[in-house]
Structure 1
Amino acid sequence: MDKSRLLWRAVTQQTPSRPISTWTCTQCLHLRQQHRALKPAQLLRRPQRRHQTQPADDPTFKSIVDNPPTLMRTGRRHNKVGLIILAAIPITAFVLGCWQVQRLTWKTDLMAKFEDRLVRDPLPLPPQIDPDAIHDFDYRRVYARGRFRHDKEMLIGPRLHDGEDGYLVITPLDRSAEFRGFTGNTTVLVCRGWVAKSKAAQAARPESLNTGEVVVEGLLREPWKKNSFTPDNKPDEGAWYFPDVYQMAEHTGSQPVWIEETMQPDLLASYDRSAKGIPIGRAPEVNLRNNHVQYIFTWYSLSLATTVMMWMVLKRPAGGRGRARRNTGW
């Protein structure tokens, strides 16, 4: 026997054995037990991995390198119907602006014609007036002599005057005393002016009920045109909302002739008349509304603004200014 072995055996026999404290992982012990249970042939066997198919295994596969993207505009094309509607707005606004220019010319000429009639001397009103000829004498200054028929007086209203509620006083003027030899109807309708609501009753304004002969100077006016928002008159109830000349003439037995009594604008005279209940006549001036300049500016501005909007829409690419990369043929 080898001397080294004999020496080692002698040393181990003389030295008492001491327990060696060691710590072993439980998981390792479990794996060690599993390995002990396996046969040697099973330990040498390697686990087989399943083969997974990759896109690159396909011989027809194309990557982004083989098929580079191209730049394209994002969004859809412009809607044709929307473009037609957008194009129709500036054209329509421009046409309406041109029409308002023509209306302005017509209104200016009409007002000039009426103002020319106002500066002329008043004409005496004949005993019989053709209603069809009143159109050629609209805003013509006339005067008539006769007596007021207060028993057939009519109030049209409500009407505002300087923010105060009131009525227009319409009184037939009987001119039979002036035209004694004339057998026809000589009575005409006279719009005397405005009275306050508190002076609507005749008992509240005795100074306005002149029973003698008077001379009325005013404007011969064409019959008014009623709009769809004004209610119908009720002659049987004494409710008049609109100066329907023909209806009022039939109700009072007068000619369908409308005269608006005039007075010079005077603030003190108006206050005095209002306190006494005497109707306040209108001023001898043309009171036609002329807002066509504002309409012209509005329509032309709308046409210009919508034209700029349409130009911006057509200039900008459909769907916005962004671009995207696109790949096809995958």
Structure 2
Amino acid sequence: MASLKIVLAYSSRVLSTLKKQTNFVYIKRTFLLSRVPLFRRADGRFVNFGRKSSSTAVGAEKGEDSFLKWFLLLIPATTFGLGTWQVKRRQWKMQLIDDLTKLTNAEPIPLPLDPQELNNLEYRRVRVRGQYDHSQELYILPRSPVDPEKEAREAGQLSSSGETGANVITPFHCTDLGITILVNRGYVPRQKIRPETRMKGQVEGEVELVGVVRLTEIRKPFVPNNDVERNRWHYRDLEAMSSVTGAEPVFIDADFGSTIPGGPIGGQTRVTLRNEHMQYIVTWYGLCAATSYMWYAKFIKRIKV
């Protein structure tokens, strides 16, 4: 609502300034034209050019007011258009969230080996079988635990649970495919990042795993660079992670069912996208209503704004 107050104040200031300038032009013309002397015509009568030009000035003033009247109507028209555009954007975003939710809850399929096919399967559930290599764990941090229901309620809000830790990324050798991939086993609190603090959760032997395919990330503004030497990763760089561990650039988020007591908490896939469109809708339509009333009051009802 702060943006609404700013626009209202600015619109009022523009109207006041333009009104003062118009009055100034009118007064200046009237003053100058009143100084014009009378001239004698051939028939002996005098012509007062000042009065005639004064009428012209009044007509010019009316023309300026008419132009200003229709020009300022662009403000409510533009804000109405922006509000309508945000309505359509919100519908698109809600459909996208629904599609991603369906993907992450679909029946898992076998992990394909074709990289091109894999690139089209982000957020798709897959099934693999193999064993972990805990000696080459990677840590993406800082991270907070995923709570899908809470994030759906707070979509678009700048909020934080206050709890931070890391996601544990572990190489996983797929015995049925003969390749090693990277698996995000899940979230651990800060005091449990070191493997020796959660030995009960270090799964040994062959296991079957269901996870969600994730692709590489591009570093966002203000996100620190990955510190490979200190094993502190801030975003998902599959090429660099594969180079360090010797795994293929294939990455999946293990689902919640993979959680072992004392180990990382699975199901750390965030599918809730930021959805701030309702706030924008209220702002733009509010500005449209406010500026429409100001235009009506100024040019139709002739109320002093």
TM-score (norm: length of structure 2): 0.64
Q: Does 1:96 align with 2:82?
A: yes
Q: Aligned to 1:108, which of 94, 105, 118?
A: 94
Distance of 1:250 and 1:91 partners within structure 2 = 55
Q: CA contact under 8 A between 2:219 and 2:225: conserved in structure 1?
A: no
SS at match of 1:94: helix
> Could you say which residue in structure 1 is the equivalent of 2:188?
195
Which has the larger helix fraction? 2
Distance of 2:111 and 2:197 partners within structure 1 = 32
Q: CA contact under 8 A between 1:264 and 1:284: conserved in structure 2?
A: no
Per-residue displacement from partner, 1:235-258 (whole Å, max 9, x unpaired)?
Answer: 122121122233323332222222
Distance of 1:83 and 1:134 partners within structure 2 = 56
Which letter maps to 2:294? M
Q: CA contact under 8 A between 1:118 and 1:285: conserved in structure 2?
A: no
> Could you say which residue in structure 2 is the equivalent of 1:178?
176
- With over 3 angstroms needed to count, the CA separation of the structure-2 counterparts of 1:153 and 1:297, relative to structure 1, is same
Specify the structure having the higher radius of gyration (Cα): 1
Q: CA contact under 8 A between 1:129 and 1:257: conserved in structure 2?
A: no
Per-residue displacement from partner, 1:4-40 (whole Å, max 9, x unpaired)?
Answer: xxxxxxxxxxxxxxxxxxxxxxxxxxxxxxxxxxxxx
The Cα of 1:80 is off from its aligned counterpart by 7.5
Which stretches in structure 2 are left out of the alignment for 5+ residues?
Answer: 1-57, 59-63, 146-160
SS at match of 2:220: coil
Which letter maps to 1:168? N
> Could you say which residue in structure 1 is the equivalent of 2:44?
none
SS at match of 1:113: helix
SS at match of 1:174: strand
The Cα of 1:228 is off from its aligned counterpart by 0.6
Per-residue displacement from partner, 1:151-202 (whole Å, max 9, x unpaired)?
Answer: 2211111122353221111112122x3235xxxxx22221111101111111
Distance of 2:278 and 2:219 partners within structure 1 = 25
Per-residue displacement from partner, 1:135-166 (whole Å, max 9, x unpaired)?
Answer: 53222111111221222211111122353221
> Could you say which residue in structure 2 is the equivalent of 1:306?
291
The Cα of 1:98 is off from its aligned counterpart by 2.5
Q: Aligned to 2:107, which of 114, 121, 127?
A: 121
Q: How many residues align?
A: 230
> Could you say which residue in structure 2 is the equivalent of 1:66?
none
TM-score (norm: length of structure 1): 0.59
Which stretches in structure 1 are left out of the alignment for 5+ residues?
Answer: 1-71, 181-185, 322-330
Q: CA RMSD for the aligned pairs?
A: 3.4
The Cα of 1:91 is off from its aligned counterpart by 3.5
Per-residue displacement from partner, 1:34-73 (whole Å, max 9, x unpaired)?
Answer: xxxxxxxxxxxxxxxxxxxxxxxxxxxxxxxxxxxxxx9x
Q: CA contact under 8 A between 2:142 and 2:165: conserved in structure 1?
A: yes
Q: Aligned to 1:293, which of 278, 287, 294?
A: 278
Distance of 2:94 and 2:278 partners within structure 1 = 11
> Could you say which residue in structure 1 is the equivalent of 2:209?
216
Q: Does 1:155 align with 2:139?
A: yes
Which letter maps to 1:140? R
